[in-house]
A and B are shown apart, each in its own frame.
Chain A
Amino acid sequence: QQPVQSPQAVILREGEDAVINCSSSKALYSVHWYRQKHGEAPVFLMILLKGGEQKGHEKISASFNEKKQQSSLYLTASQLSYSGTYFCGTETSNTGKLIFGQGTTLQVKP
């Protein structure tokens, strides 16, 4: 079952904040976040595990709400380099099978 990401697209000015959500209809074991810039391969950002709450560093962090089966990615004080498409990947039970959402396109303008 493919997770649902929202919003589909967001446009920001430099310095603004953004939140990207990833929801699943099934119980999750782990959630991954990746960013893909145009013409490039997706790049790993972070993994969140069931039972964990929040990870990341000052500017880019994520949370995992087990009750809602939802993860959120927080981008703080966005920079131009944050532009790209963000994908969440979800794993239900410890299967190793990572299913990705449709992606959220983020554009940061000067």
Chain B
Amino acid sequence: KAGVTQTPRYLIKTRGQQVTLSCSPISGHRSVSWYQQTPGQGLQFLFEYFSETQRNKGNFPGRFSGRQFSNSRSEMNVSTLELGDSALYLCASSLTPDRGSSPLHFGNGTRLTVT
């Protein structure tokens, strides 16, 4: 079974630009979560989607948005990029949104560098 696929693996953007990251979950998984990972802040929760609906959102500004499609694939968008947005963005899929029984399966991430 293929794992979680994130594209692209690396991105270099300039301040003020916008970026779209893509995530294909494991086949059959319907829940997708996004995390930002930086050395200083660890894994910060961005949002979680299930059945095309955002169920949870973290404490990030409105520049960060996401969506989920009917095939469970998900995208996240960051507009008006800032230097501080440089990070590894991890997508994780799970069978269901029930964290009591359904673990997260992480992709290898997209490394975003903002210059």
Could you list which residues of chain A lie within 8 angstroms of chain B, going by C-beta atoms?
Answer: 2, 29-30, 32, 34, 40-44, 47, 49, 87, 89, 91, 94-103
Contact = CB atoms under 8 A, between A and B. Distances in A.
B106 A100 contact: no
B106 A91 contact: no
Contact of B109 (A41, A44, A94, A100): A41
B61 interface: no
7 contacts: A30-B99, A32-B104, A42-B43, A96-B48, A96-B99, A98-B99, A100-B45
B105 interface: yes
Interface of B: 4, 31, 33, 35, 42-45, 48, 50, 55-56, 58, 90, 97-101, 103-109
Given A97-B48, A98-B45, A47 B101 contact: yes
Nearest to A98: B99
A89 B37 CA distance: 14
B104 A96 contact: no
A103 B42 contact: yes
A6 to B, nearest CB: 14
Nearest to A42: B106
B56 A41 contact: no
B102 to A, nearest CB: 8
B56 A97 contact: yes
B83 to A, nearest CB: 22
Contact of A96 (B42, B56, B58, B105): B56
B80 to A, nearest CB: 26
A47 B19 CA distance: 34
A40 B105 CA distance: 12
A39 B10 CA distance: 13
A29 B35 contact: no
